[in-house]
Each structure stands twice: as C-alpha cells, then as structure tokens.
Copies of this chain bind each other. A is one copy, B any other.
C-alpha cells in the first residue's frame, strides 16, 4: 500500500506531516479556487457559458482540454485528468427506449429520499416519472399525513418536529433479496429513523433515537433485516443535556442498532470521530461505516487537519456478546458499548470495532453485490479504497484489509454496481461518472488508473449514484441514475432555488470507447433535494390496492352507512361517526356547541380501487384522506360558531361538487 493520495492531500491542505493546523485563509483560498475553477462556479453568474478571454472556449471545455491541468492537480492533489467523456446528448441505436407508452408500466420502482423535503418519492424507471410521494418527516396535506389523530400522534411522539432530512432509503431483505415489506430512512436533522410500510406505502413508525444528533448513515442488516443500523454524525456530550457543552473532548458519536419490527433501540456503540455512511456485508456479521474527523475537532480546519481517517467496521455478533455480558453503560435507557479505538473492549484479539485507515474524510461505503468488497470513496482523495470483507476477521493489520485503491478522479463520493463485476463512481468535482473494473483494481498497484473503463460527463456535481438492485445480491446492470446536486443551465429557469438534476444513464452496453459504453439518456429536474435512491424490479413490490380493515380492527371503528351517528359524551365532548362514498357522507349534518371537543371518525366504504375521498372542514384545518376501506379519526375543538360545509377533496364523481356534510357550531 502506498499512500500517495494521502500525502498529496496533505500538501493540498498546506499542512505538514506533523499534522500542524492549516489556516482558514488557506482553506478559503483552496476551496474558492477548486469550486470556482473546477466546478465552473465562479462568482460570475453564468459559469457554464463563460468564455475565457482569447480562447474561444468555455471554462469547462478549457478544463477538459487540460490547459489548466497544472492548476487542477496543484489544487486537488492528483495527477492529470484522464478519459473525460463527451457531453453525450443523443444515444446510440442500441439503447432501449426509456419512455413508456401510455398505459404501459415501468420495469422498476425507484425510492428516492427527499432530503430536507422530508419525504420518500417513488419513481418508475426507466421513464423517471414520479408515481407518488410518501410523506415521512413532513406533514403533508394531499395524503392527510399528520392531519388525522394517528399520524399526528406518531409525529408528535417522535419529537413534534415539522420537518426532517431524509437521506438513505433502505429496503428490507430476506435472503439478501428485497422482500417488499418495508423501506427505512433516516432523519439527519433530528436524529430519527422511520419505517414505511410497503403494503400501504405509508409511514407506520418513527423512532427518535436517544443519545444521537444527526442520524446520517442508515441501512438494514443484510441478508435478513435482523437490525436497522443508524449512524449519528454529529459528536455531542453524552447525554446532551447541557453538560460539557464547552468541552469538545467529551463529545462522542454512536452507532445504533434498532429492531426493525418494534422499531425499538437495542444497543449503541460509542466510537471516535464523526460517523458518516454505512453498509453491511451480505452475511450478517459486519456493518462498515465511513467516518471523518478522527481528529475530533470542532472546526473545519481541525476536522481536515490529519492525513487520514478511519473507517469503522462493527463486528455485530461481538457487540451483541458484549451487550449480553453487560459490558456497557446505560444512557437514557439504552446500553452503550464503548467501541473507541483505545477502549478495553476494542483492544483484544477480537475487537468489536475495527479501525481501518483511509485517506482523510472519505465519503461513502458501498458493499458490492457479491459481498466480497466494500468500496470507500475518497472524496478529498481521488481514490476508492477497496476493503476485502473476509480480511476484516482474519487480517491482524487493519490497513491490510484494503486490497486496492484505484485512482478514479476528483471528488469520488459514491459507487454503484452492475451484474458484470463493474463499478461506477460519482466524481463530484470532475462532474463525471467513472466506470471501472473491480478485480482489475484489486490486481493493480494502488493509485493506478489501470481499472478505469471510461468516464462520462454529468451535469453537475453528482452525489449519490445508483443502479438497479445494486444494493442487493441481484443487480441488473441496465440503468443507472446519477443524482446531480446542481442543474444550472439544464432546465427552464424557475427562480433562484433550482431543481437538482437526476440523470438517467444506460450501462447495459460495455464498449471500448471513451465512456466505456455509458450513454446519457435523459435529464430529470427534481424538487430539492433528493439525497439517495434505491431501485427494485417491479415484481418485488406488491402494495395493496384498498385497505384491509382487519389491519385496524380493534383500534378504529369501521363506520358503515347504518352506524353513522353523533354521540354527545358530556357537556363539552362529542363523537361523530360517518361513512363516505361517492356523492354522500353518512352524516348529512351534525350540530355541536361552541367549545366542544369533537372527534370525527370517517370510513370510506368504497370497495373499488382508486376511489379516494377526503374530509375537509373549512377554517378548521381539518383534512382527512381516505383510501377505499380506510378509517381515519380527527379530534378538534369547535371554537368558532357558525356553519361549516364539510366537503370532499378528491374529485370522485359527477356530483362531487354537490357532495357535502354540514357542521353547525351553535354559540354557547
């Protein structure tokens, strides 16, 4: 193993090998230069079309042509740019049609995390049409999520926050294959994880994880979803209750294991540094997490001071044994095991957490479909570090678990996979995707480009990248989506907050050309700010078309037309029950008194798919959405006297407009 890239990174940062702190001014200069020149985003408003004086070419082409290679390599600490791809605007004849004719279905489901929109978005692939959205951490009126008593209570019990920052969707697996039961996702903003029930495509549980701030990495344990794992990214005092606020050396971050059925937190492991993103092996032993700031600084110069950081490989059975043996401290009701590098538990023959040195501030870990290797993208290093998972248990020197380190390009962030042993890594700074061969990379010297098969330009600054079923043992290898963070000039302007650009690339053809056969097929503007995505073949997902009332029997009443009624419980409490079907609520009207607490229970008694009804009470902020056979309850205070016409928000029949109930609120 050489560590040229690490050294180069140190040079770039202006710090010497003793780890001396670089100054903010150094960082500013470096960042401004990299971001302005390499990304093409200067203070000029039109970076992409900007022509450099006397050159007759724009800044991007100028960079590609290599005229500024000296600058780039000096700034970014790597050798010359190779490949470079063309801005492929049209596809060759052997790319399948990505459009889907009217009435035909897509081949794949795509589940996007919505970022700080707080939701999950479902797309069909390859058409890239949004099929629906699932509100998770955001209250969302179209589906009445957060408006009925049950979903409102779930959100209130999980902290009462009105938003979240969903990053990493993870599909439940059985035998390493997506089983269509659940999708899990993190909330970075508020340290939570949520579960989406894929029978109803609805969020059914949110856990506010104790002892953490900013859950970032989040994934299920392959192959059988025995745990849901969650990383806390931000280091804080443990517990974070006002103690040690000015003592950063007391801050910690933790790795959390959650029961995917009860969604209860089982145990946590305290580690050094800031945890980032994680993935698991395919055998149920290792959870492997990227991390940064092993310096444990609190400012950016401190966080990026040293040449290396440490990937954390969590030995799940060993941790479980420690928990069973009582080797933990209980904090806020959770067993917290000490997995810091210098801890007693971590110093023996079988450490519970292995610390694997990589170039500093790597970004992501993805385990390839065979489960043999974990890929650690370098971010500030132009490399991907390849961890041989088998060696995690057998190799005494953690550094030697890294068996390859191809040089891929500037700003590698995420890697995905096809079914042919090939990897695809997003290059944030280069605005490219690089295709490379995994076994060639393992067999080649570190920092070589031998494994590179091609590069393609993307637009612009890609983050996550995902191919069909690449996170499971069943990759497909036809389509790949690149989630670009900037779109700049790619779409009609829509004001100063731009859409991102999810680009569809066909990877089904391996060719000996500039791009290795990758072809850019379509640009798709997306609402801010999708973070990651995961894709499944359509046969894996089988949602219900109507509700099965057995799923809520005993908790909520199924209100038929004949038991629609109003019950006055006491002087200030009323319960109203109504059925709803096309053109008619079971209650034509009902009367309450000013100040009453009213609980309204409504059942959609339709048996037909797609016949959804709503319950809107004007000026009362009441808004239910009821799929066929579903029942929802809402409780509110009737504090405004007057006449309130309850109406249906889903256009449901030719007499939809005349369909009404009427709440009469009599003054006290």
Contact = CB atoms under 8 A, between A and B. Distances in A.
A93 interface: no
Copy tally for this chain in the complex stands at 2
B655 A583 contact: no
B304 A45 contact: no
Interface stretch (A396-404, A442-450, A657-665): A657-665
A153 to B, nearest CB: 16
Contacts of A621: 160-163
Contacts of A528: 142-143, 612, 625, 650
Interface string A610-648: 111010101101010101111000000000011111010
Contacts of A241: 641-642
Interface in A216-254: 233-234, 236-237, 240-242, 245-246, 251
A116 interface: yes
Contact of A655 (B245, B304, B461): B304
A448 to B, nearest CB: 23
B45 A608 contact: yes
A52 interface: no
A300 B141 contact: no
Interface residues of A, number: 172
Nearest to A522: B102
Interface in A572-589: 582-584, 588-589
Given A133-B527, A245-B664, A657 B363 contact: yes
A161 B139 CA distance: 13
Nearest to A380: B654
A363 B162 CA distance: 37
Given A522-B102, A642-B245, A655-B300, A494 B543 contact: yes
Interface in A131-174: 131-133, 138-143, 147, 159-165
A69 interface: no
B645 A142 contact: no
Given A498-B610, A545-B45, A642-B245, A102 B116 contact: no
A489 B102 CA distance: 11
Given A99-B99, A102-B521, A147-B162, 11 more contacts: A35-B582, A35-B654, A45-B545, A47-B609, A102-B503, A106-B492, A124-B525, A129-B491, A132-B499, A139-B139, A411-B654
A594 interface: yes
A664 B161 CA distance: 20
A509 interface: no
A527 B664 contact: no
Contacts of A521: 102
A221 B379 CA distance: 55
Interface string A585-611: 000110000100000000000111111
A200 interface: yes
